[in-house]
Amino acid sequence: MAVNLHVHFGKQDDPERFARYYAETHAPIGRAIPGLRSFEYGRALSNLDGSPTDIFWIATLTFDDLDAMQAALTSAEGQATTSDMTNFVTGSMTVTVSEVL
């Protein structure tokens, strides 16, 4: 069963710097993670009812299964991606894993 790794980033000190760094530097590092089936990211716009959200940015990484995700995250590329977070994340971050049905 495929799984998604969802990363929700809260408000950041410098949103434009975050977005630029993510797209130009972090995403290329993340795309090198072995076993990655898909990788999507972008700015959170609003809650469904149109109200402001506490989330600034969302990334979703898809893997074949939990074992593939664990192997990917412990790989050199996965570790490089994780280590890079300290270079641009200045707000909160929540990571959730979900099954894909």
Residues of the domain holding 81: 3-99
CA 31, distance to chain mean position in Å, is 11
CA distance 50 to 66: 34
User: Along the 101 residues of the chain, how does pLDDT read in single tens digits?
Assistant: 999 999 999 999 999 999 999 999 999 999 999 999 999 999 999 999 999 999 999 999 999 999 999 999 999 999 999 999 999 999 999 999 999 99
Task: Name the domain count of the chain.
Answer: 1
Which pLDDT belongs to residue 19? 98
pLDDT value of position 44: 98
pLDDT at 2: 98
Q: Return the pLDDT at 26.
A: 98
pLDDT of residue 37: 98
Helix axes 76-84, 66-74, angle to 10 degrees: 70
Q: CATH code at 87?
A: 3.30.70.100
Contact 34, 76 (CB under 8 A): no
Q: Are strands 36-43 and 55-63 parallel, antiparallel or unpaired?
A: antiparallel
Cβ atoms of 36 and 63 within 8 Å: the answer is yes
